[in-house]
Chains A and B, each alone.
Chain A
Amino acid sequence: MSGSGYRIAADIGGTFTDIACLSADGRLVTRKVPSTPADYATAIIEAMSDLGQAEGGVRFDEVLHASTVATNAILEGKGAKTALITTEGFRDVLELRRIRVPRLYEPLYEKPAPLVPRRHRFELPERLDAQGNVLKALDETALEALIDHIAGLDIEAVAVCFLHSHVNPVHERMVGERLRMRLPDHFISLSCEVLPEIREYERTSTTVANAYIGPPVARYLRSLSARLKEAGQDGRLSMMQSSGGVQQIETIIAKPATVVESGPAAGVVGAARMGARAGYDNIITFDMGGTTAKAAMVEGGRISSTSEYEVGGGISLSAGLVKGGGYALKLPVIDVSEVGAGGGSMVRIDAAGALKVGPQSAGSAPGPLCYDQGGEAATVTDANVVLGYLNQDALAGGSVPIRSDLSRAEFEGKIAPHLGTDLHEAAFGVHKLANVTMMRAVKAVSTYRGRDPRDFTLFCFGGNGGVHGAMIARELEMSRVVVPPAAGVYSAVGLLFADFEATRSRAFLGLLDAETAPRAEALLREMEAEVLDELDVEAPEVRWSADLRYAGQAFELQIDLPRGDLAGHLDAVREAFEAEHRRSYGHLLEGAIQIVNLRVLGAVAPQTPDQMTLEERSPPAEGTIRPVYFGALGLHDTPVLRRHALTEAPMQGPAIIEEYEGTTVVPPDATVFRDAFDNIVIDFVKGAGA
């Protein structure tokens, strides 16, 4: 491909847009700019011209982006007016959900409103059995009458989900064909195309969510594409999917439900790729921002994913157990565990007099007390200021001035007296409680799945990842912490390294045995052909996998399959399943193994430079020292350094590394060095836990 060699990525959030731009020779330039909600393209185009001008005008070969557009449509109830068509007798499946509610002991609980109100949920006479046999043919007269009715309503999108359509889509396809012919301007979402998997509520909900966000996502992407072209940028525009791969926008427009978690996914992808380059194959990512903290796992270079996901479910400590707060969306998504703790998390004293941190957040407005913008409660950031972890005068490389005296006054006057301790102990308590909550996110992706965090490196990013990462690692007895360059805009960096991916999944009910293997293999080949067709490049990496379980269980484990010859490797697949079952749950069972879903993934890695250098902005003055408190390890005069002051020779802590993108805290009982890829690497000596 001939081009300028420049690629640019943008992670568009509600408040800030993070930009990362990479040249063919490895220069990485980042920006954090306010988002432009009226037209999100504006922030990207301005940053492009700003960055391009320095190079004398650049046409970017590729524009990658992640965005909260899909999630926000659901959270804010601003999706398309959608209709749903179901099998006769089942229009309420969507609203009945799985019954369980996310809050116990709450008599005043109110369920989230369904994305399609009952008046727009319609039934058609038709019925299949569980094997896909037609019990009752689709009533085509009723279908035409229904389409007439929908045409007269103020409806933009139509979702269709019939019982057992994952086994036999015949009726759904008939309905889809007629809808597309007669309502060409409507967005049509068929469950057999969106999620051909068993469980009618989850399939209906996913299909409906896809329809609901379809029109706004299409409008957003088409407008973004047009604005970039107007600005002379006609490089390929692609978008991050929740699964961690990027796709061109036309594919996304057809199946927009794949992008709901695009921002968080990008950060994890960045960690996996950059971690692998530097030799860290087993990592737990720790992404801490202002309101929430997230963790994910990368094992042997592979990112763990899940399909147990709800959009808009809120943040919960008991994720996985408490469901029903959001909208089920069962598409592959990176398994990100999220808790309500971040820099803006507020400190309060509860009814029993105990100290609580979060989940309420002061956000970026009014923000922490030290922002002096009307904040009323101390936050985790205020505690970090009191402890000396953060700069006492300004944050973000001097661009955000702060008043550390406001933080100190609150801890001195209120929190410390309540706890009966001194200023530093009180602030350290808040810091520690935030860590405790965030450790549950780390555990949810590791110990809850039979993994020992001590076997992993903690890879920290997000605005506050480096501030809390080392203390969390020490609590979990993890021996190594890595803070990569540009950690504060890491989702943007991750986008630049993500594979271009196409995926397919199909329900397949059968046992893992010699009899069914050829049938599974034939289906996998068919899916592979579709994937190759969609990618349309030479020799992509192709992976087959299956969701397996012991016959009788209800939850599956995703296991890789040998590509091409399943029948010849049944024993190996069985062994891999058993190894994973033992690992995740601690025991094995006897009996048959059932195949539930088959999956094919095709991936193409981007062309990226081997080395990358980050443009450094506003480093701290040399020789800066400030007092920093480390709990039981005491108050230390601590050097404040720039990343490049570190070398490959390990230096004993304590140390603070201040950068435009964030701060890294190195405790006194750890060493720190900078590796060949400019990562900050913090090591704890084994057995030195405090």
Chain B
Amino acid sequence: MSIQTDPILLEVLKNGFEAIADEMALILMRTAHSPIVRDAMDYSTALCNARGETIAQGVTTPMHLGSFYDAMNFLVQHFAGDIHPGDVFIGNDPYLIQGQHLPDIYVIEPIFAEGEIQAWATTIAHHADVGGLVPGSNSIGATEIHQEGLRLPFLKLLDKGKENDTVMQIVAANVRVPDQVIGDLRAQMAAARAGRQGFEALLNRYGAAQISHYAEALQDQAEVFSRKAIEAIPDGTYSFVDHIDGLGEDPQPIELHLKLTVRGSEITADWTGTSPQVKGGINAPLSFCKSNVYAALRSIMPEEVPNCHGYTRPITVTAPPGTLVSCTYPAPCGARGITGYRIIDCIFGALAEALPDKIAADNTGGSTLPSFGGQVGGKPFVFSECVMGVWGATSQHDGQSGVPHMGSNQSNVPIEMIEADYPLRIERYGFVADTGGAGEFRGGVSIQREWRALAGDTYFGVRSDKVYHPPHGLFGGAEGKPAFTEIEAGHALRSIPPLATRAETLGEGDLVRHRMAGGGGYGDPLRRDPTRVAEDVLDGLVSPDAAREAYGVVLTEAGPDLAATEELRARLRAAATQ
């Protein structure tokens, strides 16, 4: 039976699918227990078709956009013939099920009609802890995945509606904060159930044949959009090399090499030349690499492109196995988020010349992920959060400060909640002057956050970057100031490497100070409107000295002295060309 596509009904059902994915996301957020899910919103929800291709995804984490397909594809094939109404699947392992990394646990429920699988309600959430070397399960120092915590192949968490208590008990016994992890799993189950019920209502209303026809038509529509957006990029090959600072006490730069080839309506991202996988938890499985390439390219497409698998059809991602961006067993990948951020940054870096008005100068490199853990009153605690974020400037405005990385739209955790729940005190959270890269448009200024340990023997680990390779500027804009992390113990100050492989121990009263890198500038700083420089000085974002030296602006009590500024700028230009 062939069904004609009615464009109106297509739009109706697209809305229907999106509304269900959003409802799932809301339920997950409101019932979750861990700060990283309930406050930072590091999770995603989606509806997938019977083959496991995303039909609609809730508005949560861009990096997760392509994260369902590979795992779903594996699940559908592996369990073929053994999937029943009332089953709910759980899994997390990058090598066993094409997952992301161990903290990202999938909870997935099939949706049936007429005795056949019609679709899947899928959720993925970053859990507070899944065991392993360090609290938070994101050890940079891990050398193989077996040190990173609990590995779950796809298992039935519910078997025809009956909860598998064995799985629950194994999970609870292997994580440091079982209340949070089990609470979040229940939130995922509630979200998946809501997704199934919502989709069942659509199946009842329109019939399975019609729903599946339109779910396909939506994929085709997304592909049309995607091809049009790619056609708008001039054909050619765009290359870019970026770095991650490196592991441990003696960091050696880890290189990412990207060759982006645009031919008509197709685009290929080739990562040949990228550093081999490393003995540290930052390796990215290919599924995660693809996810990030999709998210980056999605952001140069028009807003109305449906968030479904179809838009990825004209995009090819290739990466040699065994590299940082396509790691193989047993490479550890607990802290691979940083590599995802860099993958997105590489795509933008490569496209800057081709799309100068759509790309910002380099940003702070993603979130900094500090983790704290220890014991208070005999009970273990684990606290980690995402510190974000600073963007580079664009051709239209200054870089933003206090924004998430493009890849992960997360929130900060309220200071008052942290201090109420954990033996930590936040002593400063704010901007730092003279850290944004100078430019006609200035890069965003750095953000600094400071944590004081209130309990002795507190574990501290951090995943950060951009200490040795600060964010680059574009078209004459300067680079942003580099990041740093240090620990102040009494009068002693010690510097912490960007990707610390060694656990630090904080004594009671020790202070951790972290500053993110400033964003890159855009365009020649000597072309910046002197009034804007004066405003920045008033707001304490640029010092009077920097106004003079970096921007050539001479300030008086009443504002910029335009004549003196012109003269100074002429001198600075002349000096630069000599």
Contacts and interface: CB of A to CB of B under 8 A. Distances in A.
B33 A552 contact: yes
B186 A587 contact: yes
12 contacts: A89-B450, A90-B429, A95-B431, A104-B59, A104-B62, A104-B409, A109-B400, A130-B416, A198-B414, A433-B8, A436-B15, A552-B183
B430 A90 contact: yes
B144 interface: no
Interface stretch (B166-174, B250-258, B368-376, B535-543): B535-543
A54 interface: no
Contact of B427 (A89, A318, A353, A553): A89
Interface in B1-59: 7-8, 10-12, 15-16, 18-19, 22-23, 25-27, 29-33, 35, 38-39, 41, 58-59
A356 interface: yes
Contact of B19 (A90, A119, A443, A584): A443
A353 B410 contact: no
B396 interface: yes
A164 B428 contact: no
B30 to A, nearest CB: 4
A321 B29 contact: yes
A99 B411 contact: yes
Contacts of A433: 8, 11-12
Contact of A553 (B38, B190, B300, B401): B38
B540 A119 contact: yes
A117 interface: yes
A198 B15 contact: no
Nearest to B419: A130
B358 A108 contact: yes
Interface in A406-447: 419, 429, 432-433, 436-437, 439-440, 443, 447
Contacts of A166: 416
Contacts of A439: 15
Contacts of A279: none
Nearest to A93: B429
Contact of A92 (B360, B388, B430): B430
A104 B63 CA distance: 11
A586 B23 contact: no
A354 B12 CA distance: 12
A108 B58 contact: no
Which of A98, A322, A554 counts the most B-chain CB atoms under 10 A from its CB? A554
Interface in A373-422: 419
B180 interface: yes
Contacts of A129: 419, 425
Interface in B413-454: 414-417, 419-420, 425, 427-431, 447, 450
Interface stretch (B220-228, B456-464, B470-478): B220-228
B412 A99 contact: yes
B23 A163 contact: no
A585 B228 CA distance: 40
A33 interface: no
A356 B15 CA distance: 12
Interface string B172-202: 0000000110010010011001100010000
B394 interface: yes
A338 interface: no
B431 A432 contact: no
B365 interface: no
Task: Please provide the 10 A-B residue pairs with the shortest distance between their CB atoms, ordered closest to farther.
Answer: A92-B430, A105-B299, A89-B428, A96-B402, A554-B38, A118-B539, A429-B8, A130-B419, A130-B420, A552-B33
Interface residues of B, number: 86
Most chain A CB within a 10 A radius of its CB, from B59, B198, B205: B59
Contacts of A111: 400, 402-403
Given A91-B430, A321-B59, A107 B360 contact: yes
B540 A552 contact: no
A554 B35 contact: yes
Interface of A: 89-93, 95-101, 103-111, 117-119, 129-130, 163-164, 166, 198-202, 317-318, 320-322, 350-356, 419, 429, 432-433, 436-437, 439-440, 443, 447-448, 509, 550, 552-555, 584-587, 589, 591, 689
Contacts of B417: 198-199, 554
A355 B8 contact: yes
Given A321-B60, A552-B33, A585-B30, A100 B41 contact: yes
A586 B194 contact: yes
Interface string B526-545: 00000000000011110000
Nearest to B360: A107
B58 A92 contact: no
A164 B58 CA distance: 34
B481 interface: no
Interface in B250-308: 295, 298-304
A443 B21 CA distance: 13
A447 B23 contact: yes
Contact of B32 (A107, A164, A553): A553
B406 interface: yes
Interface string B351-381: 0000000111000000000000000000000
Contacts of A201: 414
Contact of A199 (B189, B193, B414): B414
Contacts of A118: 431, 539-541
Contacts of B35: 554
Contacts of B136: none
A199 B421 CA distance: 13
Task: Give the one of B180, B300, B410, B429 with max A CB within 10 A.
Answer: B429
B180 A552 contact: yes
Nearest to A123: B430
Contacts of A419: 7-8
B428 A90 contact: yes
B389 interface: yes
B26 A107 contact: no
A424 to B, nearest CB: 13
B404 interface: yes
Contacts of A353: 7, 224
Given A89-B430, A321-B59, A436-B12, 4 more contacts: A92-B402, A201-B414, A448-B26, A553-B183
Nearest to B6: A429
Contacts of A350: 302, 304
Residue of B186, B224, B298, B420 with most chain A CB atoms under a 10 A cut-off: B420
Contacts of A585: 27, 30-31, 190
Nearest to B450: A89
A614 B117 CA distance: 56
A99 B388 contact: yes
Given A107-B358, A352-B228, A92 B431 contact: yes
A448 B23 contact: yes
A554 B7 contact: no
B494 interface: no
A100 B58 CA distance: 15
A119 B410 contact: no
A108 B539 contact: no
A106 B29 CA distance: 23
A101 B394 contact: no
B533 to A, nearest CB: 14
A110 B400 contact: yes
Contact of B11 (A103, A108, A354): A354
Nearest to A98: B411
B403 A109 contact: yes
A448 to B, nearest CB: 5
A432 B194 CA distance: 25
Contacts of B303: 103, 105-106
B348 interface: yes
Contact of A351 (B228, B414, B447): B228
B6 to A, nearest CB: 8
A435 to B, nearest CB: 9
B232 to A, nearest CB: 10
Contacts of A322: 59
B430 A101 contact: no
A586 B193 contact: yes
A353 B301 CA distance: 16
